[in-house]
Amino acid sequence: MDIVFIEKLRIDTVIGIYDWERQIRQTVQLDLEMAHDNTAPAATDSIDDALDYKAVSKRLIAFVEASDFGLVETLAERCAEIVRHEFNVPWLRLKLRKPGAVRGSKAVGVQIERGTRPA
């Protein structure tokens, strides 16, 4: 199985359950690992055969910037659905961090895996 990845994609959004969080934008950070067979793009050297990480990033940036969720769990699930369905990704691992959310920690968040991991 081949993996296409995006690390530390930082996006500002409204996220949180507290009243004060609903009034500000906070930065979340996404890490993605996405299953994709890279033999075709390696053979053709064509972006048309590749999982375009720039297109994935742009789509997630647009979605997250416009979103307004209370929980990081909900935001992570919606991002995973977008990647799997719009980019035909059979399996992904997504880590969503919310830096500075808990005093004394660098970040908090969730990591999810969705789909069937190819062999």
* Active-site hit among 8, 54, 58, 98: 98
What is the token pair recorded at 11? 């996006």
Measuring CA to CA, which residue among 24, 4, 11 is closest to residue 96?
11
Strands 3-15 and 68-69: parallel
Strands 91-99 and 107-115: antiparallel
Instruction: Give the end-to-end CA distance of the chain in Å, rounded to a whole number.
Output: 6
Amino acid identity of residue 20, one-letter, is W
Number of residues that make up the chain: 119
Residue 98 annotated to the active site? yes
List the catalytic residues: 98
